[in-house]
Chain A
Amino acid sequence: MNCDEVEDILGAYALDALPGELSADVTAHLATCSKHPEAAELRAVAGALAFAAPEAQPSAALKTRLLEALREESEPADAAPRRIGILGWLKPPVRQRAVPYALAGALVIALIALVITNVGGSDEPRRAASSLSGENNAGAVVYELEDGIIVLDAEGLKPLDTAQTYQLWSIASGKPSSLGLIGTAPNGEALAVVRADLNAIESLAVTIEPAGGSIAPTTDPVLEGKV
């Protein structure tokens, strides 16, 4: 394949619209010829088309299914490193220097609160934290991980049988919307990462629902708190 032949089909190549053999020929040519500097950029532009499709909301079941599949493929996870893992998302220097792995839950939560108030400068006001409380020392801390993504870190949740699940709700103008289901560790700890706009929410609540979750809460909250 010569340079002209490559140029002739470069648009189709960038869009992966060539039969396999032809595409491989172009790739081979580009690997050794420097006369097609626009090839990489056309490919980047073609790749950017992924962002031209409108966003759409998958069913809540997809996340559950995905996380189950991960669990099946992974070593059984220890609850503690998972909780400590949260601190990892709030910047490595803090995690590495200040937080030994053996910290008890309450201390971790206190530290998270401390970390939240300390990370970043004035350019990071969006990391607002909130807390939820319930009976029997059940409680949770909520904070914003990045724009529109929050993490609920709970403890003291009694283990449920497989017929039931914890479900997280946001409440705005008195109306609850599901933010997703929450899995708990045997020790009563739970972490949930969900999308939520804290600015548009008045309060958060956790209820016990039938497995698979409910469209609206069917029981009184076991945890709740204002945002």
Chain B
Amino acid sequence: MSPDLIDPSERNTHREDGDLADGLRRRDPLAMEILYERLGRQAFGLAYRILGDGPSAEDAVQEALLTVWRQADRIDAARGRLNSFVLTLVHHKAIDALRVKRGQQARQISVDFAEVEKVGADFSERVLQSIASGEVRAALTRLPEEQRRPIEMAYYEGLTHLEIAAALDLPLGTVKSRLRLGLEKLRVALRAGSGDELRRS
């Protein structure tokens, strides 16, 4: 084999995920196996955190991955994006299942792919770097309870701001501002975690 076989500089994760996305688009089951092995535990952990029982959580993961499989033509190739895209789908499926469990209407009748894709696209590099280093969990833990709790209720329990206000017996305006403030703090924490603050200022 010739020495120009691979340019090491091309061996970045972006490229690897391009391959994985290609594989999914070709409907290569191997690609799905790799995606599953890479992300399955994170996806199941998320669904389990939301649904609280294994069988429902597995159903949510399965549905999300089947959605990826069926609509693979539309996925973005970049690695962090692919991961966040899949987890966003898992989140949607799990929240829908949770709402059905509670006797509420599923919030999304079906996952809007364009919308999910937009969220994925919104992931900036710096946030992705923070994610990679496990920074998100730590940042969330560091939030004051009064901001963390409403955020968790929104994200992991699928509650609207009205439902959160009722559950916590707080004025709606207070909930709105705590959600916003909590997210702002997370944003600052994730930026700091990736060193982006230094580059920017």
Contact = CB atoms under 8 A, between A and B. Distances in A.
Interface in B107-152: 107, 119-120, 122-124, 127, 130-131, 134, 136-137, 140, 151
Question: Interface extent on B, as a size class?
Answer: 35 or more
Max chain A CB contacts within 10 Å: which of B22, B54, B134? B54
Given A89-B30, A94-B5, A8 B23 contact: no
Question: Interface extent on A, as a size class?
Answer: 35 or more
Contact of B5 (A70, A119, A123): A119
Contacts of A42: 180, 183-184, 187
Contacts of B74: none
B97 interface: no
B162 interface: yes
A145 B31 CA distance: 11
A19 B176 CA distance: 13
B41 A57 contact: yes
A45 B41 contact: no
Nearest to B3: A118
Contacts of B151: 15, 49
B98 interface: no
B179 A62 contact: no
Nearest to B155: A49
Max chain A CB contacts within 10 Å: which of B42, B176, B183? B183
B30 A86 contact: yes
Contact of B58 (A9, A18, A41, A58): A58
B129 to A, nearest CB: 11
Nearest to B65: A66
A89 B19 contact: yes
Given A45-B183, A66-B32, A92-B19, 10 more contacts: A11-B182, A12-B179, A42-B183, A45-B127, A46-B155, A49-B136, A70-B29, A73-B69, A73-B70, A119-B5
Interface of B: 1, 5-6, 8, 11, 16, 19-20, 22-23, 27-34, 36-38, 40-42, 44-46, 48-50, 54, 57-58, 61-62, 65-66, 69-70, 84, 87-88, 90-91, 95, 107, 119-120, 122-124, 127, 130-131, 134, 136-137, 140, 151, 154-156, 158-162, 164, 175-184, 186-187, 190
Interface of A: 8-12, 14-20, 40-59, 61-63, 65-67, 69-71, 73-75, 77, 81-82, 85-86, 88-89, 91-94, 98, 114, 118-121, 123-124, 145-146, 149, 191, 193-195
